[in-house]
Every structure is written in structure tokens, then in C-alpha cells.
Amino acid sequence: MPKVMIVDDEKDLVYLLKVILEKDGFEVLEAFNGKEAHEMLLAIDNKDNLPNVILLDVMMPEMDGYTLQAKLQENDKFNEIPIIILTAKGQMRDLFELSSNVFAFAEKPFEPKNLVEMAKDAINSKK
């Protein structure tokens, strides 16, 4: 069962995505800011238990998505996990343009089913 981590401070959005992804056969991990996500990932001791893809919001309290993405890219344990950046219209995509671990961008508001397809594509790209 593929595993996806959703990192977003909008609890309603996280819940909606979780329901849709679980219905589509994904196991879902939830974090509501970058710091919480980073701590959860560091606590995973077996590489096989890491998420197959991360859906990452940019603007969050405690640690933003840009900082988390940079930390993940620098760590050999996490830098192979594809990331889909969830951005508000007009947010600074260029901050991520040279990042090897960023698979795609989903501009809010997005169609949740399209995001599921993006997640599947990101996972399949790593096979």
C-alpha cells in the first residue's frame, strides 16, 4: 500500500485529502506544520516505512514548507522522496525550481482527484 504524507496547516484540507487518498488505497500520514512533519520523519527508523510521496504546503507556522523541503533534500534518508508542493496562486515557485526532490506543483484551489493522480505519478516515477 503506497504511503503519502500530507503536511498542511489547514485541518479541513488535510482531512479531505486523507479521505480521498485512503479511498484510493493510500496509507496517509498527517502533519500540520513542517516541524511536526520533520520530527515524524526522523522518528521513522526503517526506510521502508517512509512515505512514498509528500504533499507539502508552503505557508505554515513553526516551519514553512520551503525550510522542510530544504532539510529533506539535504538528508540522504529523505532526499529520494518526491514532493508535491501545494502553493497559493502566485506563490514563489522559483524558490523550488532547482530542487531535485520536488516532483510537481499543485496550485490552490486544486481538484483533489488531480492531486491523487499527481501522487501516483510521483510514486511511479521512482520505480
Q: What is the pLDDT of residue 89?
A: 60
Contacts of 47 (CB under 8 A, 6+ apart): 77
Can you tell me the distance from the alpha carbon of 91 to that of 113, in angstroms, rounded to the nearest whole number?
Answer: 22
Give the pTM: 0.91
For 64-106, the DSSP string reads -HHHHHHHHHH-TTTTTS-EEEEEETT--GGGTTT-TTEEEEE
- Per-domain residue ranges for the chain? 3-125
Read off the pLDDT of residues 70-126 as tens digits, 9 standing for 90 and up.
Answer: 999 999 999 999 999 888 766 555 666 656 788 888 888 888 889 999 999 999 987
Flag whether pLDDT at 15 surpasses 90: yes
Determine what percent of the chain is predicted with pLDDT higher than 90. 63
Percent with pLDDT over 70 in the chain: 91
**How far apart (Å, rounded) are the C-alpha atoms in residues 1 and 9?**
25
CATH architecture assignment, domain 3-125: 3-Layer(aba) Sandwich (3.40)
